[in-house]
Structure 1
Amino acid sequence: MKHRFLTCAALVAALAFGVLPCVQAVEYTQVNETASTISFTYKQFSSRVYGTFGKFEATLDFDTANPSAAHTALTIQLDSIDAGSSDANSELQKPAWFDSASFPVATFESTGVKVLSDNHYSITGKLTLRGITREVDVPVLLKSENAIGIFDGQLTLKRSDFKVGEGEWADGVVSDKINIRFRMVAPEQ
């Protein structure tokens, strides 16, 4: 009887203080790039514009039992952009924008992961675009569906921080803030 009472008391205390261990730790080590997406929105002449990047490579090492040890990296092929028209796609490859002849890829590499709450994380890392590297914090929600992890996140960048859209484009025709959203899909390991 005493053992049963102590076990029950320990369970109640764990629930009260939110220290119950995860029922089952899950590892994610492969990204399904075909099922994953990277998109962005911005304003041009006060209209919202939507676009995507079609080619990227992602690596992932994420264990829900030890998220602070997680690591991820992403390489985006800048010439795979679809900004809604072939004219826009061509313009964005020019030196005033991505200068993709000199800088064909953008990269992100994580440097740390912090748990915010259940399944909510902040991934800190180095984002490099046009040879300029900035530290960014990316809020991410991890959803698990049918043995698949879905990492949803978004961040807002200032294109001026990376010298994207210089010259005649710096006058505000295109918003300085670019909202980036991603969905990385990874099977449980």
Structure 2
Amino acid sequence: MTRSLSVLLASLSLATFAGSAVAANYGQVLAERSAVSFVSKQMGVEVGGSFGKFDASLQFDPASPEQGRARLEIELASIDAGSKDANDEVVGKAWFNVKEHPRATFESTAVKALGGNRFEVTGQLTIKGRTRPATAPFTFREDGGNGVFEGEFTLKRLDFAIGEGMWSDVGVVADEVKVRFNVVAAAAR
């Protein structure tokens, strides 16, 4: 639930990252080498999870990060929230409602260099039929001809109606969810 939203945001943010001192255009996301995870708090205890399936498109030239763009779609039913019971619960109507909203999407609107190997991607995140602006800082580095985008940001699950009814009590499940991402993309040849 909260973790799933975090993972989604993280995946979206990673797909959008751009920037590096190396002159290459990174455009093919290597999903099998990439990961989106999240951490939320339930009754004060950190609980983590991840998403197993996502599609991403990315265009990034470190020499022109402001030209970067990305789109990410996460299959919400691919969540791993730590147990079968938790997975079954978070795909339901009160959490992600995957029957009506099977995917979360992120579409970038801007990428900004922050100095060094640090960047920030901004865009529109849509989860459960609600669209909100989202911003995620990230770092970029080259590794063996691939670009590696790593970052973390916090989202508020209630902005997306994730955890309705009795689950909207932030004393039980915190509103804030940390989304962490590690996206690997191949350079265009």
Q: TM-score, normalised by structure 1?
A: 0.86
Matched AA of 1:82: D
Instruction: Give yes or no for contact 2:110–2:123 (8 Å, CA) kept in 1.
Output: yes
* Residue matched to 1:185: 184
3-state DSSP of counterpart to 2:163: coil
Stretches of structure 2 that go unaligned for 5 or more consecutive residues are 1-19
2:157 counterpart (149, 155, 159): 159
Cα deviation for residue 187 of structure 1 reads 1.7
Question: Greater CA radius of gyration, 1 or 2?
Answer: 1
- Superposition pairs of residues 1-189 of structure 1, within 5 angstroms: 24-172=22-170, 173-189=172-188
Cα deviation for residue 154 of structure 1 reads 1.3
Cα deviation for residue 188 of structure 1 reads 2.2
Aligned length in residues: 168
Q: Distance in 1 between matches of 2:85 and 2:58?
A: 34
Q: Distance in 1 between matches of 2:43 and 2:121?
A: 33
Matched AA of 2:69: H
Cα deviation for residue 25 of structure 1 reads 1.1
For residues 132-179 of structure 1, give each alpha carbon's deviation from its aligned partner in whole angstroms, at most 9, with x where no partner exists.
000111101001111111000111000010011010111121111010
Instruction: Give yes or no for contact 2:22–2:142 (8 Å, CA) kept in 1.
Output: no
C-alpha distance 188-167 of structure 1, shift in aligned 2 (>3 A): same
C-alpha distance 149-69 of structure 1, shift in aligned 2 (>3 A): same
- Counting aligned pairs with the same residue, the percent is 46
**Which consecutive segments of 4 or more residues in structure 1 shift more than 2 A?**
none
Q: Distance in 2 between matches of 1:154 and 1:139?
A: 7
Matched AA of 1:102: E
User: How well do the aligned residues superpose, as a CA RMSD in angstroms?
Assistant: 1.2
Of 123-132 and 146-155, the range deviating more from structure 2: 146-155
* Residue matched to 1:18: none
Q: Distance in 1 between matches of 2:117 and 2:129?
A: 33
Cα deviation for residue 23 of structure 1 reads 6.8
3-state DSSP of counterpart to 2:86: helix
Stretches of structure 1 that go unaligned for 5 or more consecutive residues are 1-21
3-state DSSP of counterpart to 2:88: helix
Matched AA of 1:187: A
Q: Distance in 1 between matches of 2:73 and 2:21?
A: 34
